[in-house]
DNA sequence: TATGAATGAGGCTTCATTCAT
DNA sequence: AATGAATGAAGCCTCATTCAT
């Protein structure tokens, strides 16, 4: 409460305001990747930064707030690409291939280490909220049969997610895309139609 | 050494010793389900137990060790079922349907809350380690085409994983099984063959 | 969260459970006296103790809880004496002298340093809650005129409180008691009667 | 140096400088009233101000310094009134009644919440330092008997202090003044004479 | 072995204060 | 002067773990 501060406080003041926010987000992304969101602590994030502990709180109230900011960032990066990939699709094959490709590219470019426990990472979660919508739109356009959209979205998500692990581990984006696309292209006609 | 510690209590002692381990594992399973592995603390586990904190350390060195013990337990419960389901399959359709059904039933019977963030629990992870092996065995038996076994396993895992969320949320096990099975039954022939 | 504890943890474990509570209360009393309740921190209390920080929380949830425990302690020490002093009084002079004397003795025996800011200390507050009751009872017995009991209690409290500061600073208990008693003995008949 | 910083704004600047000090003091008074001196933080004071945190330190080195400045301000407001009330008194009754009345009015007009724990506020403390002096002067003038001036001052202070709580709680200033005055008017002759 | 109090590292957050702009 | 972001000490509390009984 009554700190008689050290006389030697100099240094560590080079980064600008806007940069610091980015610094923290970058560090948080790395830390979440390494430890997982739940295990990561605010201190971990701060330590991954040249900043002082208090500085964190000038930008974010909590770990959760960083998480949301990260999701927003992802939203700006990944989700529009995915939407675009899906909405611009004229054929079923385009819908699938474009989506998978966009996702795998994104994952391949992220420098996150491949870690099974990252289900809760912003990267993974971001953008899947809109998938179901797009699937339904595609059904209306006739690109998909009248199957349960929720189940189909879940299956697409699951396949994308698990194959993304392989992409992270070094698998080819294009080959992986082809594989996933083929699975659904072949599987779709066989799926049970939704009952009314 | 008073009368209470008579010969008659010896047998009970043995029982208690074995039971305490079980008590802790049971509590840990519940706690991991409720809070997730990362958020759960040893204290939480102890609190979910009638035992004293020190007693925990007579059985386990850490939370991680409990986790591993739980996985071992699961191995005894879920994984054999899955192996059995897959190994006894005479047809591709049996392989798929039996596997998905066993998994979805298992998930449906777990009382875990339907929480995306709890996927790091032993229940979910257990049993997928052996999938790839079984896929390769099935390929040898001619049940699956000569596609990349790693990718196929990942796709199976992903679909099982995501649809399990719907099962947790109340979806019918059988319907979900039919959906997943149909997807792969239809998709398998379309998959690119593994290059040599 | 995952402390690899120092190997050299020995020592500091001599006090028994019951003693530790007392140790903390004693330290708290001292700290509250020196810094005042509001300024005192849990750390201050712990530091005034040979105990570890966590130990505090084995006994009390917060500074407030220590405060209440201290008040309870006081209640057991001072208040019964004051009640007894007032209730056993057969004359007005006895009521006043016994009360003041009991309070001043109590204060004199406390080793608290004389500090104006201790209004909020448990010592001061304890026991005054019952004063008004006793004043009214005394009025019913005819020991006090029918003046406003609230005001009279407040005046008694104020005088006791301020003169207690002098006692803390070294003034004679008996002389101070005589002074305070005389003031009220002389002043009581002059007080305005309560209007009905 | 653009147009906004024209000659016309110079005067305003001077005014601002003087006003800022006042702004801070005003905010501090409010904050101390609401939170108490000990609990209040410099941040609280700054937040109660349109100024920046750094600006605070152009005017005061610490919370304590604000406190002292506030006491000085009070000295200019309350203490002269009290001194005047006491020095102009021709009779004992005037001395007492004028003092109590001035104090109770002051308290009644303060908007402090009626909180026992705020007695360390500048308002309450200010002005009592000089009481003893005035009591001795009054003794020299024959308005008070030759009793211990320190004890008498303490008793006056205590009564004023406690009855002020009732005034804060809504009691009539005049009635309270009459009560306190009567107590001392009646009690004074009964007090033990100071021994030489 | 079981117990549970003690320990202190370390997590979270706020605060007073500095200092570049 | 005024600003407000940065700083890091220090407050609060929980946790894993130890150890005397």
CATH of the domain at A94: 1.10.357
A175 & A92 share domain = yes
In a domain, A7, yes or no: no
Q: How confident is the model at residue B196 (pLDDT cuts 50, 70, 90)?
A: low
In a domain, A56, yes or no: yes
- Protein-proximal nucleotides of chain E (any atom < 7 Å from a CB): 1-20
Question: Residue C91: which domain range?
Answer: 71-190
A155 & A141 share domain = yes
Give the separation between CA A56 and CA A54, rounded to whole angstroms.
5
In a domain, C79, yes or no: yes
The domain boundary residue, chosen from C9, C39, C65: C65
Q: How confident is the model at residue C108 (pLDDT cuts 50, 70, 90)?
A: confident
> Which residues does chain C have within 8 Å of residue D178's beta carbon, measured at their own beta carbons?
192
CA distances from B160 to B104, B131, B155, B179 (A): 8, 12, 8, 11
Indicate yes or no: CB of A182 within 8 angstroms of CB of B186. no
A86 & A55 share domain = no
Per-residue pLDDT, D11: 43
Per-residue pLDDT, D124: 55
**A133 has a pLDDT exceeding 80:** yes
Q: Which of A13-27, C80-94, C167-181 has the highest mean pLDDT?
A: C167-181
Which residue minimizes Cα–C1' distance to F8?
A52
In a domain, A4, yes or no: no
Whole-number distance in Å between C52 CA and E6 C1': 7
pLDDT mean across residues, chain D: 82
B131 & B38 share domain = no
D34 & D85 share domain = no
Per-residue pLDDT, B122: 60
**C137 has a pLDDT exceeding 50:** yes
- Count of residues in chain D: 196
Candidates B179, B192, B193, partner chain A, best to mutate (most A CBs within 10 A): B179
Q: How confident is the model at residue B56 (pLDDT cuts 50, 70, 90)?
A: very high
How many distinct structural domains can be found in chain B? 2
> Which residues does chain A have within 8 Å of residue B191's beta carbon, measured at their own beta carbons?
179, 182-183, 186
Among chain A residues, the shortest Cα distance to B119 is held by: A119
| Contact assessment for residue A177 and residue A100, using Cβ atoms and an 8 Å cutoff | yes
| pLDDT (tens digit per residue) in D108-162 | 876 554 444 445 556 555 556 688 889 999 999 999 999 999 999 999 999 998 9
Q: How confident is the model at residue C196 (pLDDT cuts 50, 70, 90)?
A: low
Comparing CA positions, the residue from C114, C125, C137 lying closest to residue C72 is: C125
In a domain, C5, yes or no: no
> Which residues does chain C have within 8 Å of residue D119's beta carbon, measured at their own beta carbons?
119-120
Any contact of B with D, at least 3 CB pairs below 8 A?
Answer: no
Half-sphere exposure of C18 (CA within 13 A, CB side): 0
Give the separation between CA C66 and CA C73, rounded to whole angstroms.
10
D55 & D108 share domain = no
A38 & A111 share domain = no
Give the separation between CA C113 and CA C120, rounded to whole angstroms.
14
Per-residue pLDDT, C124: 57
| pLDDT (tens digit per residue) in B105-159 | 987 876 554 444 445 556 555 556 678 889 999 999 999 999 999 999 999 999 9
Of D148, D157, D182, the CB nearest to C187: D182
Per-residue pLDDT, B10: 40
Per-residue pLDDT, D47: 93
CA distances from A110 to A74, A78, A123, A182, B22 (A): 11, 11, 9, 25, 42
Distance from CA of D152 to the nearest CA of C (A): 9
Q: Average of pLDDT values for C101-113?
A: 78
In a domain, D66, yes or no: no
Q: Which residues of chain D have pLDDT under 50?
A: 1-13, 113-118
C94 & C186 share domain = yes
D101 & D143 share domain = yes
Give the separation between CA B15 and CA B19, rounded to whole angstroms.
6
The domain boundary residue, chosen from A36, A65, A94: A65
D97 & D186 share domain = yes
In a domain, C43, yes or no: yes
B138 & B106 share domain = yes
In a domain, B32, yes or no: yes
Q: Which of A174-183, B9-18, B64-73, D48-57 has the highest mean pLDDT?
A: A174-183
| Contact assessment for residue A99 and residue A148, using Cβ atoms and an 8 Å cutoff | no
**B166 has a pLDDT exceeding 60:** yes
> Which residues does chain C have within 8 Å of residue D161's beta carbon, measured at their own beta carbons?
158, 161-162
- Count of residues in chain B: 196
Give the separation between CA A119 and CA B115, rounded to whole angstroms.
11
Per-residue pLDDT, D59: 92
A163 & A90 share domain = yes
Least confident of A182-186, B40-44, D118-122, D153-157: D118-122
Q: How confident is the model at residue A35 (pLDDT cuts 50, 70, 90)?
A: confident
Per-residue pLDDT, C146: 96
Chain position carrying tokens 């997610």: A161
**A122 has a pLDDT exceeding 80:** no
């Amino acid at each position: 409460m009554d700190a008689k501060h050290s006389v030697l406080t100099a240094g560590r003041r080079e980064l600008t305001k806007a940069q610091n926010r980015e610094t923290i987000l970058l560090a948080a992304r790395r830390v979440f990747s390494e430890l997982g969101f739940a295990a990561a602590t605010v201190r971990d994030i701060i330590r991954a930064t040249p900043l002082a502990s208090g500085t964190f709180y000038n930008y974010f109230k909590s770990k959760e707030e960083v998480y949301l900011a990260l999701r927003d960032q992802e939203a700006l990066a990944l989700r529009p690409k995915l939407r675009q990939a899906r909405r611009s699709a004229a054929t079923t094959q385009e819908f699938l291939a474009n989506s998978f490709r966009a996702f795998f590219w994104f994952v391949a470019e992220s420098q996150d280490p491949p870690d099974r426990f990252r289900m809760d990472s912003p990267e993974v979660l971001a953008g899947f909220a809109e998938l179901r919508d797009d699937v339904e739109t595609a059904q209306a356009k006739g690109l998909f049969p009248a199957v349960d959209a929720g189940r189909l979205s879940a299956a697409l998500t699951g396949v994308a997610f698990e194959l993304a692990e392989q992409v992270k581990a070094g698998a080819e984006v294009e080959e992986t895309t082809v594989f996933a696309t083929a699975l659904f292209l072949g599987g779709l006609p066989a799926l049970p139609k939704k009952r009314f």
